[in-house]
Amino acid sequence: MIIVLASPRGFCAGVNMAIASLDLALQRLGPPVYVYHEIVHNQYVVNSFRARGVVFVDRLQDVPEGATLLFSAHGVSPEVRDLARERRLTAIDATCPLVTKVHLEAVRFARQGYTVILIGHRGHDEVVGTMGEAPAAIILVETPQDVAALDLPAHTKLAYLTQTTLSVDDAQRVIQSLRARFPEIEGPPKDDICYATQNRQEAVRQLSAEADIVLVLGSQNSSNSQRLRELAAERGIPAFLVDGADSIDLSWFRGDETVLITAGASAPESVVQGCVHLLQQRFGAALEERILRVEEVRFPLPRELRESS
């Protein structure tokens, strides 16, 4: 067996910032620290923080008045921010700056009188937050079929934005459908799909050609991890999304395969190495790391933590 270990993989700058923010908040303030939704979509990260006294909530009504609340990397709507102020919560905003960029674009387009077509997955935390910036002006689509079903008044000023963790190929198909139907539609000045999502997808595109099987480390509710699995599967390669080594079924392997291993942007390196170790231990796998790109992006800690340091 040969393991081809894709790089870049795993944590992106936004996830690193969010996790560092929560870790620092715990160190300075002590538990409990509340987090609105999961800090990132990964069960290992969430469970490790839960064991240290972090409380993850889906309703601000479950946070005691005056408590410390951290907004996750996926961002929140203005309504959530307003409610946090009403409840006198000490809010720490760990929203990824690339998600904030999409929020600001939505606000700008809405103020200029555009109807915004948001390409994304219904119910995803990031999409909910973005739509909350201008709910009367944003329409969500997921597929080219959704574009075909749009019923808009003539001469509507249109712009589109995308969720940051989409499949580049899927998003492009929807954008092409929008441009074909609405030639005057405007887009963001720069792609909304984040650099880390694109880099991890490009690594799977290039390296999966060598692979007999692909393992993607990430949780089931991680959008960018799901896209990596789908990308490999679209190429006809057996591909599995697993949380960690304990989720691997050894019957998937004969023992002489080339196995491509990568990780979504919210998966810690420890789970990657756990999978590598399992395959080395059971099949004597040789390891080859392939570095396609070096990521040097860093995001500063939230203002609230910088000001209190």
Q: For residues 185-223, b (16+ Cβ closer than 10 Å) or e, as one string?
A: bebbeeebbbbbbbbbbbbbbebbeebbbbbbbbbeebb
Predicted local distance difference test score (pLDDT) of residue 309: 57
Written as one string, the DSSP assignment of 62-75 is GSPTT-EEEE-TT-
Predicted local distance difference test score (pLDDT) of residue 306: 87
For range 143-159, the mean pLDDT: 96
- Checking if the pLDDT of 287 tops 80, the result is yes
Tens of pLDDT, residues 80-112: 999 999 999 999 999 999 999 999 999 999 999
Class of domain 2-11+195-291: alpha beta
> Is the overall model pTM greater than 0.75, yes or no?
yes
Q: Please tell me the distance from the alpha carbon of residue 296 to that of residue 293, in angstroms, as a whole number.
A: 10
Which CATH number is 13-95+299-307 given?
A: 3.40.50.11270
- Checking if the pLDDT of 307 tops 80, the result is no
**Residue linked to tokens 């709507």:** 77
- Annotation marks residue 210 as catalytic: no
Amino acid, single-letter form, for residue 233: A
Tens of pLDDT, residues 106-142: 999 999 999 999 999 999 999 999 999 999 999 999 9
- Checking if the pLDDT of 270 tops 90, the result is yes
Tens of pLDDT, residues 171-216: 999 999 999 999 999 999 888 889 999 999 999 999 999 999 999 9
| Domain layout of the chain by residue ranges | 2-11+195-291, 13-95+299-307, 98-181
pLDDT band at 308 (very low <50, low <70, confident <90, very high): low
Tens of pLDDT, residues 24-62: 999 999 999 999 999 999 999 999 999 999 999 999 999
Class of domain 98-181: alpha beta
Written as one string, the DSSP assignment of 177-198 is HHHHH-TT-B--SS-SS-HHHH
Indicate the Cα dihedral angle 95, 99, 105, 106, nearest 10°: -80
Spell out the residues 6+ positions from residue 208 whose beta carbon is closer than 8 angstroms to its own.
214, 231, 232, 235, 237, 260
Average predicted confidence (pLDDT) for the chain = 95
Tens of pLDDT, residues 237-262: 999 999 999 999 999 999 999 999 99
Residue 274 contacts residue 224 (beta carbons within 8 Å): no
pLDDT band at 154 (very low <50, low <70, confident <90, very high): confident
**Residue linked to tokens 């907004």:** 71
At residue 205, φ and ψ (nearest 5 deg) are -55, -50
Catalytic residue among 105, 126, 133, 257: 126
| 98-181 shares the fold of 2-11+195-291 | yes
